[in-house]
Amino acid sequence: MLKSCRAWVGCLLLGVIPAAVAGDAEKSVDAWLKQMVESVRTLTYEGTFIYLHNTQLETMQITHTANNDQEQERIFSLNGAAREVIRSKGAVICILPDVKAVTVTKHNKGNRKFPSVLPINLSHLSDYYEFHILDKARIADREAIVIGIIPRDTSRYGYRLYLDIDHALPLKTDTINEKGEMVSQIMFTMLRIDPSIQSVSPSMHGKGDYSWFRSKPAQKVSPSTHTNWQFKQLPRGFQLQVKTKRAATSGGQEMEHFVFSDGLATISVYVEKAGDENGLHEASTMGAVNAYGAQVSGHQITVVGEVPAQTVRTIANSMEYSTTATLQ
């Protein structure tokens, strides 16, 4: 009795804290993240978010519908060229009114090694990240709980997630580098969760004379088991997830692709025969994405990922070519 009186007085002093919120704070980080992953995929919502990376600011609109396990998503740029990307079960469509072009990329079944929902496995991730419930906040006029995903070393970024109290949708996501600086922020300014939102349709500004391009399935992607490449020093926790070889096409040459992940961060390594003068020979960065390119044993290597610059560089520098292919 005394206890509840105190709690009541405390509430009065601190301002009104709805009981539901107080209760939610006790929900485990694990439960929050699981709900987030589920909500992002299964809820129907639309909203406007801003995206700040380095010094660039963009505004975008997102519509996500989920009916009978059929997901569709449209992201539409509200400033500059009215670009849009439509994601669906079957394909990714990019509409580029600035160049009057539409590109269609069909998902290659062989490509979909990853489940569409990340099975957040905290016991595995906790070797590389700490998880904390940090705070409460208000974003887009919604109450949010703030969760910190803090890396245990400098090989990966950290994240600060502001999850909607009711649905666990990420209302704001800060990506934080090894120095504790925010390298990118995504924040909703408006969000409406409503099952009656109609399925997405493209707007196609200035219709009619678009050129259509499709990425041909001719570029055969096949899982490969053997490779001539060895990775001598991978950053801690990053494991090879996918390894594919793509046959040469008219527009490109044979390419090997390695995907590494620590469970949250993902890194791609692309290997082609050297010769294309447009290869990357140094470090570059765009927002939270870092890239590093180098030539090794007559091959152009390009490493890309949402990880610190040092991590992509380390992976590139650790690659060795041997004349005999080995099982990885």
Partner 1 sequence: MTNNIREQISALLDNELSKDEIGQTFDRLSEQKQLRDTWDRYHLISDVIRGDIGERASLSLADRVRVQIDAEPAILAAPKPVKTAPAWVRPLAGTAVAASVAILAVMTAPQLLNPEAKAPSQIAATKVTTPIYAQSASLPSVQNYRLVNSAQYQVQPVTAARPAARWSTQYAGTRWKNLARPATENKLNKYLMDHSEYATQGAVSGVVPYATFVGYDARR
Residue located via tokens 């990966």: 156
DSSP string, 243-293: EEEE--BTTB--EEEEEEESSS-EEEEEEEETT-TT---SEEEETTEEEEE
Pairing of strands 211-215, 101-106: parallel
Using CB under 8 A, which of 212, 298, 324, 327 touches partner 1? 212
Q: Which of residues 222-251 bind partner 1 (CB under 8 A)?
A: 233, 235-236, 241-242, 249, 251
Beta bridge partners of 319: 231
Number of residues that bind partner 1 (CB under 8 A): 138
Question: Nearer to partner 1 by C-beta: 8 or 213?
Answer: 213
CA distances to 29, 132, 184, 226 from 289, in Å: 26, 25, 10, 29
C-alpha to C-alpha distance for 53 and 55, rounded to whole angstroms: 6
Using CB under 8 A, which of 28, 79, 225, 326 touches partner 1? 79
Contact range with partner 1 by CB under 8 A, out of 12-20, 21-29, 147-155, 224-232: 147-155
Q: Which of residues 28-57 bind partner 1 (CB under 8 A)?
A: 36-37, 40-41, 49, 51-57
Q: How far is the CB of 11 from partner 1 (least distance, A)?
A: 22
Q: How far is the CB of 224 from partner 1 (least distance, A)?
A: 15
Q: Which of residues 6-25 bind partner 1 (CB under 8 A)?
A: none
Q: Which of residues 149-188 bind partner 1 (CB under 8 A)?
A: 149-155, 158-161, 170, 173, 175-176, 178-182, 184-186
Q: How far is the CB of 267 from partner 1 (least distance, A)?
A: 8
DSSP conformational letter for 219: S
Size (the chain), residues: 328
C-alpha to C-alpha distance for 61 and 186, rounded to whole angstroms: 12
Work out whether 81 is an interface residue with partner 1 (CB under 8 A): yes
Work out whether 132 is an interface residue with partner 1 (CB under 8 A): yes
For residue 326, count other CB atoms closer than 10 A to its CB.
11
Using CB under 8 A, which of 99, 190, 248, 325 touches partner 1? 99
Q: How far is the CB of 3 from partner 1 (least distance, A)?
A: 28
HSE of 195 in the Cβ direction (CA atoms, 13 Å)? 4
Q: Which of residues 247-276 bind partner 1 (CB under 8 A)?
A: 249, 251-252, 257, 259, 264, 266, 268, 270, 276
Q: Which residue type sits at 137? A: A
